[in-house]
């Protein structure tokens, strides 16, 4: 997701300030979490709906093609998973493409081998 946001900034469709506010809102550490965002969208966290971080995330997601996402309350799939399913579809992310990009995603060869082993385990 960071890459999609950064690409939006580079392309001029995402304001740098919105990108920074979105990253901060989603948790600027090692892993971004869309939990707060999807819960605010679903009305579960109305207190967040007026926050600058949420508003920036809406503008950013709209600019990168995820503006139509709306959590579905009529399914057992949790909101976060619904978001990531749409994200994967929007950016055509598949396990095969991730395997091909693994050297770019994980630079450390030892860590890359660990991830590859985990991926193999999941197919057995």
User: pLDDT tens digits for 3-43?
Assistant: 889 999 999 999 999 999 999 999 867 677 888 999 999 99
User: pLDDT tens digits for 44-65?
Assistant: 999 999 999 999 999 999 999 9
User: pLDDT tens digits for 80-114?
Assistant: 889 888 888 877 767 777 777 777 777 788 888 88
CB 11 within 8 A of CB 23: no
Q: For residue 124, what pLDDT band results from cuts at 50, 70 and 90?
A: low
Burial of 68 (0-12, 13-18, 19+ CB in 10 A): exposed
Give the global pTM: 0.70
């Amino acid at each position: 997701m960071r890459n999609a946001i950064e690409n939006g900034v580079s392309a001029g469709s995402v304001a740098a300030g919105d990108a920074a506010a979105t990253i901060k809102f989603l948790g600027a550490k090692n892993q971004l979490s869309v939990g707060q965002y999807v819960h605010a969208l679903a009305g579960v966290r109305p207190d967040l709906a007026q926050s600058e971080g949420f508003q920036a995330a809406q503008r950013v997601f709209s600019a990168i093609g995820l503006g139509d996402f709306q959590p579905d309350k009529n399914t057992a799939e949790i909101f976060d998973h619904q978001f990531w399913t749409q994200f994967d579809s929007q950016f055509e992310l598949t396990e095969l493409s991730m395997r091909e990009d693994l050297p770019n995603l994980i630079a450390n060869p030892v860590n890359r081998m660990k991830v590859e082993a985990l991926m193999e385990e999941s197919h057995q």
